[in-house]
Amino acid sequence: MQQKEMQDGKPRSVSVIGASGYSGAELVRLLLRHPAVEIDTLYAFSQTGKRFSDLYPSVTCDREFLRYEGEAVSDIYFLALPHGEALTIVPELVRAGKQVIDLSGDFRLKSPDEHERFYRQVKPADAWMPYAMPELSRNDIASAEAVSNPGCYATSIILGLAPLFLGKDHSVKIKSVNCTAVSGLSGAGRTSKTELSFSEMSENMRAYKVGQHQHTPEIMQALGTSASSPSFDFIFTPMIGPFTRGIYSVLSISYEGEFCKDSADELYRNFYTDAPFVRVRGSMTEVRHVAMTNYCDIHIAHGPENGRLVIVSAIDNLLKGAAGQAIQNMNIMLGLEETLGLL
Amino acid sequence: MQQKEMQDGKPRSVSVIGASGYSGAELVRLLLRHPAVEIDTLYAFSQTGKRFSDLYPSVTCDREFLRYEGEAVSDIYFLALPHGEALTIVPELVRAGKQVIDLSGDFRLKSPDEHERFYRQVKPADAWMPYAMPELSRNDIASAEAVSNPGCYATSIILGLAPLFLGKDHSVKIKSVNCTAVSGLSGAGRTSKTELSFSEMSENMRAYKVGQHQHTPEIMQALGTSASSPSFDFIFTPMIGPFTRGIYSVLSISYEGEFCKDSADELYRNFYTDAPFVRVRGSMTEVRHVAMTNYCDIHIAHGPENGRLVIVSAIDNLLKGAAGQAIQNMNIMLGLEETLGLL
Amino acid sequence: MQQKEMQDGKPRSVSVIGASGYSGAELVRLLLRHPAVEIDTLYAFSQTGKRFSDLYPSVTCDREFLRYEGEAVSDIYFLALPHGEALTIVPELVRAGKQVIDLSGDFRLKSPDEHERFYRQVKPADAWMPYAMPELSRNDIASAEAVSNPGCYATSIILGLAPLFLGKDHSVKIKSVNCTAVSGLSGAGRTSKTELSFSEMSENMRAYKVGQHQHTPEIMQALGTSASSPSFDFIFTPMIGPFTRGIYSVLSISYEGEFCKDSADELYRNFYTDAPFVRVRGSMTEVRHVAMTNYCDIHIAHGPENGRLVIVSAIDNLLKGAAGQAIQNMNIMLGLEETLGLL
Amino acid sequence: MQQKEMQDGKPRSVSVIGASGYSGAELVRLLLRHPAVEIDTLYAFSQTGKRFSDLYPSVTCDREFLRYEGEAVSDIYFLALPHGEALTIVPELVRAGKQVIDLSGDFRLKSPDEHERFYRQVKPADAWMPYAMPELSRNDIASAEAVSNPGCYATSIILGLAPLFLGKDHSVKIKSVNCTAVSGLSGAGRTSKTELSFSEMSENMRAYKVGQHQHTPEIMQALGTSASSPSFDFIFTPMIGPFTRGIYSVLSISYEGEFCKDSADELYRNFYTDAPFVRVRGSMTEVRHVAMTNYCDIHIAHGPENGRLVIVSAIDNLLKGAAGQAIQNMNIMLGLEETLGLL
């Protein structure tokens, strides 16, 4: 591959903590082809001693997984750990002056109460880092040293709703949002659960955590309200379906007020005019349209009509929903072109 | 197999018109093992001359498909034809004194206007036959000579909602129903469309006809209201997913009033107490729980809580959603045990 | 369902030991609809205390799994246990005068040496029971009190080869058999292995145990030779593919001598003339042709030509490859019609 | 993306004729990210007027498909057309001095007789172009102006066998090769056939053209013999399975003579020592190891032992089996690094 370099002539060094899971592996795949950074070390607790290519032979990377023991030598750290495990590691890395992108839910919620309620885990009151969804807060990310990468469902749903809540020049009031979203099974991680075996999930679908999924407060917070005291009626039904990659969200919205003719579509297109990875589409989107890409496709599937709007939003859960968005955030934090290494 | 017989000692003869599609084929499979009827003739337009087992070798049936030309010699006729094709055939069979179960949408809607709007097809004002969902109108079916078998999505959704609309002893008023349902691809029939090929649909999902699906007026009619002038806010988003059999519906309901403690669950259990094929379940249902069965599984996945209720309803689209329910209706029309040949 | 009865007016009682795995569950599903037997007790070690319908809600059976502790009260016992576990249980049941059908590999091989080599487990020299493949040894099964049910791959492969080795009236000598077979993932059992998760196996295929699979000596023994000293060159490559049910075997055979015109086809049809579950087909077979059936479909896909013959053989691994064949054997042992409860 | 350039400062222009099928679309995807070429025009007969992104929204390319009418303005032409259609177009392009890579079977076989027998189509005696498998004939490709890109099955099988036939320093004589290969359904192209619909192929497998597949003479020719007068016994059974991408080949070989200890593995590793896309692996390979890559993974799964060797070979049928190998050939023809744009 071509010589990697930054403006100062030297690529930045990157390490991934939790590199053996599906999100971690996607990070490695993307970092290997990224022109401005170089992988330093891959850490993985349960797989220590194995090589990356033992688990993911399709990616050309023979590095050995090491056990992370507190060293802080790279310029940038990605953490793709099970929830709870980043809580102690991130502050150490931040103190050591490292740039940190955490893919877990540990630092996403400002409210420790909501965190405790949805993650069933206590966290310190200051365990919060800027919520790094570039389409909503590019500037904050650019100036941050450490950020929280959004959750997969949350990315799909927030991007599908944001123009209605955060967009300008419309006077519509959202009354309720009904959200159902089907995730591919890679969303459950690299796992050995019987109920996620091929024989159980082929030709199957299953809802879970209806009204209780931990991305609920994350979505509400990003839309400017809260799960404890929401400004609109919200219900989220997550499901898993028989595919590996992708999240397909149907957002059914009731509102008061009037959109001008075509203006919901315009509202969405204007809102995302500077967002290279959000595509507001004139026809129905599908999971295969976004699989293996960092795109979020949004289509206004019904309405606005009689106070009702149905938005369909599709992402690749491992890319725009995890590793791809993390690289996008890294690009912004490093002052690089937002799309670098992602097209 | 055991000798088939009716109380008068002779099994009834049954013919299937449109026996080469997936619903028709399921009818054949079920009729072959049914103890009280015997298959007379299988009709199929496009496959005339082929044998049933050429298309469906897993079913032991070497009958040749014939072209239907107006004969009316069997006791009972099932029609599993594309929409529109039953409109002329059914009246002839009825005039000939035959018992008829039509699986198409041709005779389901009382309103020709709604039929025209949703099927984009004009039909006569009297083209209506009793809507044969046994859980709602067992007595009407028992006394009918010809009935309309419900649609697949409609079956899943109506059964998931009926206790709220038609159940007794509760004072809750339904304000809105948001419905998303994922269908397996057999719902699209035995087809040669590129967009339904394995390569396009594996690892894919796609919504379609959002807010415009032809089962909408059927659902409203069954719940005692109409699509033209609905008594509650209703929106239905159908989707297809990468599996063959099943419909998985998420029904998100907002209501006014109060359920007593546990009473939504009790309401459902009471409503279906005499329904052998509806199972109100205490834990989450999945497509695999109902695949290859005539069951409709219903689970109250969230609430009732703060005016919100989420119901999950699952069926096999080809069985409870088509051929299985048709056999169930035949059993009722013949005065047989409702479950005969279906367990 | 109709009243179950035997000729003496009372159905036989049946218990399943190891009823929670996929083969055990298929046994339960088939036994429930079998007209001549009644289920007595379901035993399952790891699932003791759960109900059958907790694991398999599509089957209407609320029985609780019990822990087997040596009781012998039913007329008939099916054992569907991991290899090795039947070695002590079967002899006790036989001593208690019970009829036993063991689905494991424990009693299939006459040679303890071959058993040890392929199962890596020592077994007593007398741990052998008649090999119950009805198409090869119906009479032996009819007179046996306890039998070994064949393995899944073995069933598909032996039935695809038997006419060449055991058929009469031909003078062809088999020189070599190359066998590749793809199994659906239910063949690996109800499992929690990461490498059998949906995300790892969707869109995937994998060979394993090439030349070393434990069904090799079983196949050779059934064909009248042995793995240690084979009368022809044999190699077997098992594979798993991204589907749940089915085994699809390609048997490529080289031979010396001449078949008469069409005689390979005739040889096969004659050999299986009394076998209700083997279908020698004139066109290509597929997994879907036999899924959910007890059929073994065989097609001569190439030749005989220039000393080469390619046979394709397809079964449902859980039915003809396990539970279906076990019921077929039970029918024979009880003097019932061979197909009872299986069509 | 970075500025594309060749050594002379200008990227080469490339057009794809037949850009709307799966292989054509993969070519487009790869060419877009290739640093040394630029796409000029996309031609597609049946899709003329549509945009590339209408069919393949996951790829960022809004070009319109044009109808090819004989123009020859680009530097390089890829043809990904149905068999037969390149026969007239390629000679015109060659006469116009263009570099041509043809992905069809039209120019692969030197023998018009074998072409006619396997493709059921007559072709001119001189309709042959160098067979462009870089691992076998890198130098010939480097000096060619127009080449035939190998077939998908052929690539997997030839690479799995070549060291035995073309490798040096061994004295083993191959007696027979039994080949079974399972292809993902994208191998059948973007199609509307009923038998390739999701509902027919999910949970299914099917063999076809046993002993008659058109890649047979291509394989024989590449191994230095011919289908008409083969130097060893060869039989090939192609199958399709329920996945989209990949070919998984099992090659069972019988031989005379002796490999030295470990020497089959050494033979393979030595033969491919300069082949960046062939990986001789010490453990079992799987389709997922090569999906979305240009790798061919080869594993000696059994033997050499008693005259028997089993080789497993896996590729992505659309990449190493079509578009990826085509780009690899283009790189060689242009004097670029062989892996450029492919890692």
pLDDT tens digits, one per residue of D227-267: 999 999 999 999 999 999 999 999 999 999 988 766 899 99
Task: Please give the model's pTM, rounded to 2 decimal places.
Answer: 0.96
Quick check: is C260 catalytic?
Answer: no
Decide if pLDDT at C169 tops 90: no
Closest CB from D58, D203, D281 relative to A290:
D58
- Name the nearest CA neighbour of D84 among D51, D108, D58: D108
pLDDT of residue B58: 96
Distance from the Cα of B199 to chain D's closest Cα (Å) equals 5
CB pairs under 8 A between A and D: 41
What's the CA gap between C236 and D39, in Å, rounded?
47
- Non-local (6+) Cβ contacts of A208 within 8 A are A238, A239, A240, B284
Closest CB from A208, A252, A286 relative to B284:
A208
Q: Which residues of B touch C341 (CB under 8 A)?
A: none
What's the CA gap between B104 and B115, in Å, rounded?
12
Contact A90, A106 (CB under 8 A): yes
pLDDT of residue A231: 94
Q: Which residues of A touch B252 (CB under 8 A)?
A: 178, 180, 235, 237, 252
Distance from the Cα of A127 to chain B's closest Cα (Å) equals 30
Interface of chain C toward chain A, CB-CB under 8 angstroms: 22, 184-186, 188, 190-194, 196-203, 242-244
What's the 3-state SS for A274-294?
Answer: CCCCEEEECCCCEHHHHCCCC
Decide if pLDDT at C262 tops 70: no
CB pairs under 8 A between A and B: 141
Q: Which residues of B touch C295 (CB under 8 A)?
A: 58
Decide if pLDDT at A3 tops 60: no
Distance from the Cα of D238 to chain C's closest Cα (Å) equals 10
Q: Which chains touch C (3 or more CB pairs under 8 A)?
A: A, B, D
Decide if pLDDT at D271 tops 80: yes
Average pLDDT, chain B: 95
Contact B217, B118 (CB under 8 A): yes
Q: Which CATH superfamily is domain A153-317 in?
A: Dihydrodipicolinate Reductase; domain 2 (3.30.360.10)
Q: Contact C204/D284, CB-based, under 8 Å?
A: no
The number of residues making up chain D comes to 343
Q: What is the pLDDT of residues A263-322, one digit of tens each?
A: 899 999 999 999 999 999 999 999 999 999 999 999 999 999 989 999 999 999 999 999
Q: What are the backbone dihedrals phi and psi of residue D13, each rounded to the nearest 5 degrees, phi first?
A: -95, 140
Topology of the domain comprising C12-149+322-333:
Rossmann fold (3.40.50)
- Could you give the dihedral angle defined by the CA atoms of residues A151, A153, A157 and A160, in that order, rounded to the nearest 10 degrees? 90
Q: Residue A181's closest chain B neighbor by CA?
A: B180
Cα first-last separation, chain D: 16
For B67, the token pair is 């072209």
Decide if pLDDT at D63 tops 50: yes
Distance from the Cα of A335 to chain D's closest Cα (Å) equals 16
If pLDDT is split at 50, 70 and 90, which confidence band does D2 have?
Answer: very low
**Mean pLDDT across B78-97:** 96
Distance from the Cα of C25 to chain A's closest Cα (Å) equals 13
Q: Contact C58/B343, CB-based, under 8 Å?
A: no
If pLDDT is split at 50, 70 and 90, which confidence band does C1 have?
Answer: very low
Q: Contact A58/D343, CB-based, under 8 Å?
A: no
pLDDT of residue D151: 98
How high is the ipTM of this complex?
A: 0.95
Q: Residue C195's closest chain A neighbor by CA?
A: A192
Closest CB from C182, C206, C301 relative to D205:
C182
What's the CA gap between B309 and B212, in Å, rounded?
24
- The phi-psi region of residue A293 (left if phi > 0; otherwise alpha if psi is between -120 and 50; otherwise beta) is beta
pLDDT of residue A171: 80
Q: Residue B312's closest chain A neighbor by CA?
A: A207
CA distances to A297, B197, B307, C59, D62 from A278, rounded to whole Å, are: 6, 28, 34, 45, 16
Q: Which residues of D touch B193 (CB under 8 A)?
A: 192, 197
Question: Poorest-confidence range of B48-62, B199-213, B254-268, C88-102?
Answer: B254-268
What's the CA gap between A1 and C314, in Å, rounded?
47
Catalytic residue among D61, D152, D179, D260: D152
If pLDDT is split at 50, 70 and 90, which confidence band does A56 have?
Answer: very high
What's the CA gap between D273 and D294, in Å, rounded?
16
Q: What is the pLDDT of residues B128-175, one digit of tens each?
A: 999 999 999 999 999 999 999 999 999 999 999 999 999 876 788 999
Residue B186 carries which DSSP code?
Answer: G
Q: Contact D295/A58, CB-based, under 8 Å?
A: yes
Q: Which residues of A touch D281 (CB under 8 A)?
A: 57
Reduced to 3 states (helix: H, G, I; strand: E, B; else coil), residue B343 is: coil
* CATH class of residue range C153-315: alpha beta
What's the CA gap between A248 and B201, in Å, rounded?
14
Reduced to 3 states (helix: H, G, I; strand: E, B; else coil), residue C287 is: helix
For A210, the token pair is 């209806």
Q: Please name the amino acid found at residue B218.
A: E
The number of residues making up chain B comes to 343
Q: Contact B196/D197, CB-based, under 8 Å?
A: yes
**Mean pLDDT across C13-23:** 98
Cα first-last separation, chain B: 16
Q: What are the backbone dihedrals phi and psi of residue B99, each rounded to the nearest 5 degrees, phi first?
A: -85, 130
Domain boundaries, chain B: 12-150+321-333, 153-317
The CATH number, out of the four listed (2.40.50.140, 3.40.50.2300, 3.40.50.720, 1.10.132.20), of the domain defined by the range D12-150+321-333: 3.40.50.720
Q: Exposure pattern of D306-326 as b/e (b: 16+ CB <10 Å)?
A: eebbbbbbbbbbbbbbbbbbb
Interface of chain D toward chain A, CB-CB under 8 angstroms: 1-2, 33, 35, 57-58, 60, 202-203, 281, 285-286, 288-293, 295, 297, 343
Reduced to 3 states (helix: H, G, I; strand: E, B; else coil), residue B240 is: strand
* Other beta carbons less than 10 A from residue A335's beta carbon: 9
Q: What is the pLDDT of residues D136-163, one digit of tens each?
A: 999 999 999 999 999 999 999 999 999 9
Q: What is the pLDDT of residues B291-318, one digit of tens each?
A: 999 999 999 999 999 899 999 999 999 9
- Name the nearest CA neighbour of C282 among C260, C298, C258: C298
pLDDT of residue D1: 39
Distance from the Cα of C240 to chain A's closest Cα (Å) equals 11
